[in-house]
Structure 1
Amino acid sequence: MATLEELRVELDKIDNQMVELYQKRMNVCREVGDYKVKAGRKVYDRQREQEKLADVASKVDNDFDKNGVRELYTQLMSMSRKLQYQKLVEAGALGRLPFIQIDSLEKDTARVVFQGTEGAYGEAAMHQFFGEDVNCFHVRTFRDAMTAIEEGAADYAVLPIENSSAGPVNEMYDLLDEFENYIVAETILPVVHTLSGLPGTTLTDIKRVYSKAEALMQTTGFLNDHADWQQISVVNTAIAAQKVVKDGDKAQAAVCSAYAAKIHGLEVLADNINDEPDNCTRFIVVTNQKVYLKHASKISIEFELPHQSGAQSGSLYDLLSHFVYNNINMTKIESRPVKGKQWEYRFFVDFDGSLEDAAVKNALRGLREEATNLRILGNY
C-alpha cells in the first residue's frame, strides 16, 4: 500500500496535468469568444451546456463522481462564459445602459414628497438630505409617494428601505419592482423613539400603543415590559402621534420621535426606548428619471432565477459568481416572492461600483444573459 507522501506526489502530478489542460481549454474558449464577437452570437447556450453536463456525467460510474463531474464542468463552463462576456464588453457589445450621468441633483428647485405627516422620520430624512427650506409635501402611503414621482407631481421621494435593527422594509422592495422609478441617492438617519401621550398622562393610564409596525418591532423590549398594553400598527410614527392627539384619550400613546411629539403637542413619557442604542434607518431618494451622479459608488439591481424543471440549487450561486469573478463587493441581498408564481423569488442585490466601471459592465453582461427580468434600480 502506498504511503500518504507517495499518494500526494501522485496527486501533484495529476494536478499539474489538469492545470495544463485547463489553460488549453481556456485558450480554445478565447477563440470561441472571438468568433462570437465577430458573428454576433450569444454567449450562453443553455441547451448545449445541459447536453455537455449529461455527456460528462455518463462517463463516470458512480453517483458521487457523477455529481462531482457535473459540478466541475458547471464551473468550467461558467469560467468560459465569463471570459467570453469580457471579450464582448471589450468589443463594445455590452448593450445600451439607458442611464445618464449628471453632476448634481437640483436640490434648490426640486419638489420632494415623503410618506407620513409632519414630524415623520421621513420628513427628518428629507430635511437631512435636501435642507430645511425644501419645497415638499407629504402623502399617506409609500405607494402614494411612488405614484407622485411617477406621474411628475414630485421630482423626488424620500422613502425608508431598511432599518439597522428591524431589517428591510419589504413593501419598498415590492414597489421598486412595480414602478419605473430609480434610486439616485441615500441618506442614513439615526432613529430615537419615545413613548409619548397626552399632557398629564402616566404609564399606568396607557392601554393602547400606536406606531408603525417597524417602530413597534424596534421597541419590543420596552413594550413587552408592559404586557397589558395593546400594540396597534398604523402607517407612520407621526400619524400615530396625530391619532393620539385627535382622539384625546389618555389610554392611548404613540411610539414616535421627540420632534413628532413636540409639533403635535404630546408629552414624552419615556425617552430613548429603542432596543438597539445605535438604531438607524436607511432612506433612499427616488426619481422617475434614469440618472446617476458622477461619483455614484453603489448599484442596486433586481433579477429572477431562470425557470427550470427541477431547478438546480446552484442557480443563485451561478449568478452571484459574476460578482466574485469581477472582484465586486456585494453588500446586500434580499428576496421577495414573485407574485403569481408559487415558490419563485425575486432577488435584490446591492453592490459597490459605478455603471462606468469595466468590472461592473462585465458582471451586468453576464447577469443579463443568465438571469431573468434583470433591472438596474439605480446607481447612487
Structure 2
Amino acid sequence: MAKKKKLKIAIQGIATSFHEVAALTYFNEPIETVECLSFHQLCESLKNGTSDYAVMAIENSIAGSILPNYFLLQDYHFNIIGELYLPIHMNLLVLPGTKLSDIKTIESHPMAIRQCTEFLHALNGVEIRESDDTALSAKRVKELKLKNTAAIANEFAAKKYGLQILEKRIETHKKNFTRFLVLAKRSNGKIESNKASLCFEVANEVGSLADALTTFKNNSINLTKIQSIPIIGRPSEYSIHIDVEWKRRKSYDTAMHEIMRQVKNLNVLGEYKKAKVEYK
C-alpha cells in the first residue's frame, strides 16, 4: 500500500515558529513545512507550487492587523479556505545561566515585540532589535552563544534549542491570540462555510459605504471585521476588506446579490468555516 504523501505547508518563519504551530494545529496530521522568512516568500511558494497550502497571520489581538498581508491577498488572488485562532504566549529565552541583569539586547519578530511592550518598556538600558522570526531569534542565541542577548519566542523554540525560559508569558495581555488564514491556489468546494472574507470599493460619496454595510444588516449577516486599505496611485481611495458570518446560506446569497449593485470590484477572497476562539 502506497504511503500517503505529506502535505507541504508554507509558513512564515522556521520550525517551532508560531506559524508552524498554527499549521500543525489546523491540519492535525503529519505535514511538511516549507520555511519562508517573509510573507512575500510564503506567497511565492504557494504560487509556484512548492507548497500545497500556506498559513498566514493576518491579525493579533494586541498588535492589530498585519496590513501588508492584505495587499498580498489582493495581489496573489489566493483563496481563503480556513482560519485558526491560536493562543500566543511569549517567553524570554536565554542561554542557560543567564540572568536578567546580563541582557543587553532582546530580539524577535516586530509583531512579537509589539505584543510585549509593557514588559519591554520596564527594562532599562536594553536594546530592542527586530528580526525575521521568533524562532530564528532563538536559534541565533543558541548557535552564536549570545550570552548578553535574549529572544522572545514560544516554549517549543526553548526546547528545540536548549534555551532557558527566563521570564514566562511576557505578553501585555494574557488573553492574546493571533488569527491565521489558510490559503490555497483554488477554492475547496467541499467546505461547509458560514463565514466569508470580501473586498470591494465604494464611490467616494456620502453614505456609500454605510449603504453597503446596511445591506448585510438587513439580511441578518454579522459583520465581524472591517479594514480599509489604501489603493496605490489613487489618493483618498480605499479598498474595503470585511469579514461576515451567517446562520442561513440563503441570507448570505441574497446579500451578495444585492451588494453587487452597490459596490465596485467585489472580490470574494474566500468562504470557509468560522473558527472558535479558545483561550488557554
Q: TM-score, normalised by structure 2?
A: 0.90
Query: What are the within-5 Å matches in structure 2 for residues 75-154 of structure 1?
Result: 109-131=6-28, 133-154=30-51
Superposed, 1:340-379 pairs within 5 Å as 340-353=233-246, 357-379=249-271
Q: How many Å separate the matches in 1 of 2:210 and 2:102?
A: 54
The structure having more radius of gyration, on CA atoms, is 1
| SS of match in other structure, 1:339 | coil
Secondary structure of 1:295's partner? coil
What's the secondary structure of 1:291's corresponding residue?
coil
CA distance in 2, matches of 1:247, 1:338: 43
Q: Deviations over 1:121-177 (max 9, x none)?
A: 000111111135213221111111111112221111111111122211212211111
- Unmatched 5+ residue regions in structure 1? 1-106
Q: How is 1:293-312 mapped onto 2 (pairs within 5 angstroms)?
A: 293-306=190-203, 311-312=204-205
Distance 1:109 1:264, change over 3 A: closer
Out of 217, 220, 225, the residue aligned to residue 332 of structure 1 is: 225
Q: Paired residue for 1:158? A: 55
Which structure shows the higher helix fraction? 1
Residue 261 of structure 2 aligns to a residue whose secondary structure is helix
Kindly state the Cα deviation for residue 241 of structure 1 after the two structures are TM-superposed.
1.2
The alignment covers a number of residue pairs equal to: 269
Q: TM-score w.r.t. structure 1 length?
A: 0.67
The Cα of 1:108 is off from its aligned counterpart by 6.7
1:314 aligns with 2:207: yes
Q: CA deviation at 1:292?
A: 4.1
CA contact (8 A) 2:194 2:249 kept: no
For 1:361 and 1:189, the matched residues in 2 are separated by 30
Higher strand residue share: 2
Q: 2:73 aligned with 1:180, yes or no?
A: no
The Cα of 1:362 is off from its aligned counterpart by 2.2
Query: Which structure has the higher relative contact order (CA within 8 Å, separation 6+)?
Result: 2
Aligned partner of 2:116 among 215, 219, 226:
219
Q: Deviations over 1:10-31 (max 9, x none)?
A: xxxxxxxxxxxxxxxxxxxxxx
The alignment yields a C-alpha RMSD, in angstroms, of 1.8
For the Cα contact (< 8 Å) 1:292–1:379, is it kept in 2?
Answer: no
Counterpart CA distance in 2 for 1:191 and 1:333 is: 23
Question: What is the SS of the residue equivalent to 2:186?
Answer: coil
Distance 1:200 1:294 in 2: 50
Over residues 208-267 of structure 1, what are the superposed CA-to-partner deviations in whole Å (9 max), with x where a residue is unaligned? 111111111111111111032111112221112122223322221111001112212221
Q: Residues 9-48 of structure 1 correspond to what in structure 2 (within 5 A)?
A: none
- % same residue: 33
Structure 1 residues 308-332: Cα deviation after superposition (integer angstroms, max 9, x where no partner) = xxx3231210111110121111111
CA contact (8 A) 2:109 2:134 kept: yes
C-alpha separation in 1, matches of 2:85 and 2:223: 19
Q: Say whether the 8 Å CA contact 2:92–2:150 is kept in structure 1.
A: yes
Equivalent residue, structure 2, for 1:194: 91
